[in-house]
Every structure is written in structure tokens, then in C-alpha cells.
Amino acid sequence: MRSPVNCPAEGCFDNAAESRQQTVMKILIPCEPGLQERRVAMLPSQLARLKQLTGATIQVQSGAGRWLGLSDRDYQAAGAEVSDEIETLWREADLVLSIGPWSSEAFTPLGWLKAGACLIGLLDPWSQTASLDRLAAQGVSALSLELIPRISRAQAMDVLSSQASIIGYRSVLLGATALGRYLPMLTTAAGTIPPAKVIVLGAGVAGLQAIATARRLGAVVSAFDVRQSAAEEVQSLGAKFVEVDLSESAEAGGGYAKQLNEDSMARLRAGLLPHLQQADLIVTTAQVPGKPAPYLISATMVAQLQPGTVIVDAAAERGGNCELTSPGRDVDIDGVKVLGPTAIAAGLPHDASFLFGRNLLALLPLICHEGQLQLPLEDEIIAGCCVVTAGARRFPPQPKPMPVPEAV
């Protein structure tokens, strides 16, 4: 394990200590892994601010912005160096800004990162522990943006919220397209079409955006969340909050919900069924950080829904909120369509990338100082999202040892 070097503050790791002869830090914006990933970590319009904050040389892998309609010339005009020499780019990088995650199972450029470099992105530390071990062994540090604390000072850095807003918006559009009927009430010479009924399960950022989008499209909207505190936010958007009597509180720290016991889940499903049976479109967004998405809709419940009902499971990547969800596929169960979209935010790549880049620009001043990279672990934001410091894995956090009672 590397030792912390002398820094302005105790507990601060200086990742650039091993490369002091390098006068200018190099930041890499790579092409993203995954066939569905269309986002990029930073847009050309944001590079001037990135250079101002860091004083770094900005390097971009050729083709990084192709899915957004951005050419290599766009990045070059913004002051970046563009290259298709992938191995050289990764070996020279001091800081990599990426969407991610990067798996260690298949070919990955993680092995090219030099000791003292830092990787920032959505690293999925719960399932990508092998990647974290690999980075630690190489002396590389990593910040996982999913773990940024939800505190007021970190709101501008909250990548999960910025991307969840897009997920909620697109989920309703996907459902509206699959529904085969109007969402708003429509009065025509041939008669009046009543508005569609939409129910949203989960009233976090994605759920609230789904509610707002369905309302703007003219649907009659109701919503449910296991957190009773979400009722006011749901009602403020003009939706009805669905009440279900649970046997326990589902409130968890940081604005998240916790997993419920089996008795509470049975009560929840029974309480939701009558509301789901009246819905035309069901959008599910419920997730618990680091755990499989909770099953809110069982196969038995799906069999009792009206034919023509559409379920959009925005939690499909984590297994889904519906028992019959097939991630990445749309399935039809006796006339009920269950959509399991994945990489939803990547389907709106320009705005998703813009927001992601803004989140990064808010975070970087905490770790970039006078052209050098330092990780101030005494800062609760960095301490919360730092999953690897050069030479040691920090995730999952180890429990603090209990004090040994003094002998009487």
C-alpha cells in the first residue's frame, strides 16, 4: 500500500506525487464501453471550463462523440488533442473522465493506467469489485460517482439525479409510444377520447420526472412510494399519492428507501393491485442502491391486469420491479406489454452528456489544485465516493472497530 505524502491537509492523497517531472496533467476523455452507451463524459463546449479548472492538457479518444453527432474536429476546435492511439492515451493519462462502468472480465484498457492515475465515473462498485482490485493493484485511485453523498453541498455533483431525470422522462415517452392510444383527453368531431391513466411506482428523481412528463402529456397520474415523505412532492406535481399500509417504515438515510421485509412486500403488492388494474400505463422506477431492484409487480399480478396495459420497467438493469421483466427486451404476456429498457439515459445522449459533464465540473475543483491531482479524504464528498486510493480498496467501507472496554 502506498503511503500518503505531504499534502496541505492530513489524509490527502497526492496522486501526482510519482510524476512530478510531468509539468502538465493529462486528462483523458475516452470512448465508452458497451454497445448501448452513446454518452460521452464531456462535450466540446465544456472543455474551456475544464482546462480553466485544471490547467491540464485535454486528450480525447477519436470517435468519442460520434453518437452525439460530434466530430473529432469539434473537440480539436475546443482545444483538445484527439488521437486514435488508445493504448498511448490510457498509459499517459493522469485522470480519466468516463461514464463507465469498466469491467475487468473482458478486454479493458484499465490495465494500461499508470500508478498514480485516477479514474472517475459510474463504476458500479457493488458488482465490479474485480475491477476495483485491479486498479488497487496497479496503484490507481478511483472515484465512483454513484456514491457521492446526497448533501446540499454536493447537489451540483449528483450524477445519479441528473441521469435519473432523463430516465424518468424517456420512460414515459417509451410507454406512450407502446401504449397505442392518446395520453391526453382529446375532443374531436367523432367523439371524446378520455385521458389515459398512468401510475408511477417510485417517487425518487426518476419517478418525479416521469410524473411531470405524464402530466404534461395530459394523462391522469397517480404515484406510489414506500417513503411516506414523498407524498407531498407527488401531490405538488398534480398527481394523486397512493396510500398503502405497510408493517414497517421504509425510510433510509440520504433520501433513499430501504429494503422491506417479506410481510411488508406482500402488503405492498396487495395494496397496489387495485390501482394497477385501473391503469393504462405503469412506469416503475424503484431501486435500492447496491441491491437488486425490489419486485413490486409479481407474475400473478400481471395476469390480473387489463389487456393492453403497458409496463415500462425503468429498473430493468437491476433486475426490474416486475417479475416478468426481461432486461433489454419487450415481452407480451396475454396482451400486457412489459418493456425492459436498458441504458435509458444513453438514449438522450446530448443532454445526458451535458449534465454529466456539468456534474464533473462541479466535482473537479475538490481534487485538482494548481495543476496537480490530490484526493482530500478529509472531505466528506471525496471520502464518500473514493472507492480506491492508490494501492488500497476502500469499498465496501470497513466497519469501525468497537472500543475495547478498559479493565476495572
Three-class SS state of 143 = strand
Q: What CA–CA distance (Å, rounded) separates 59 from 117? A: 15
What would the DSSP string read from start to end of 244-308?
Answer: ---SS--B-GGG-B-PPPHHHHHHHHHHHHHHHHT-SEEEE----TTSPPP--B-HHHHHTSPTT
Three-class SS state of 53 = helix
In sequence order, the 6+-apart residues with CB closer than 8 A to the CB of 117 are: 15, 93, 94, 95, 96, 140, 141
Three-class SS state of 90 = helix
Task: Using CB atoms within 10 Å of the CB of residue 332, give its burial: 0 to 12 exposed, 13 to 18 middle, 19+ buried.
Answer: exposed
Q: What CA–CA distance (Å, rounded) separates 191 from 253? A: 50
The DSSP symbol for 67 reads G
What count of other Cβ atoms lies within 10 Å of the Cβ of residue 89? 23
Q: Which residues of 30-53 are buried (b: 16+ CB within 10 A; e: fewer)?
A: bbbbeeebbbbbbbbebbeebbee
Cα 163 to chain centroid, rounded: 6
CA dihedral 391, 394, 399, 400 (to 10 degrees): 60
Q: What are phi and psi of 366, to 5 degrees?
A: -75, -20
Cell numbers 480498496 correspond to 393
Q: Which residues are catalytic?
A: 150, 155, 158, 161, 256
What Å distances lie between residue 251 and 161, 171, 246, 260, CA to CA? 18, 25, 12, 10
Three-class SS state of 113 = coil
The alpha-carbon radius of gyration of the chain (Å, integer) is: 23
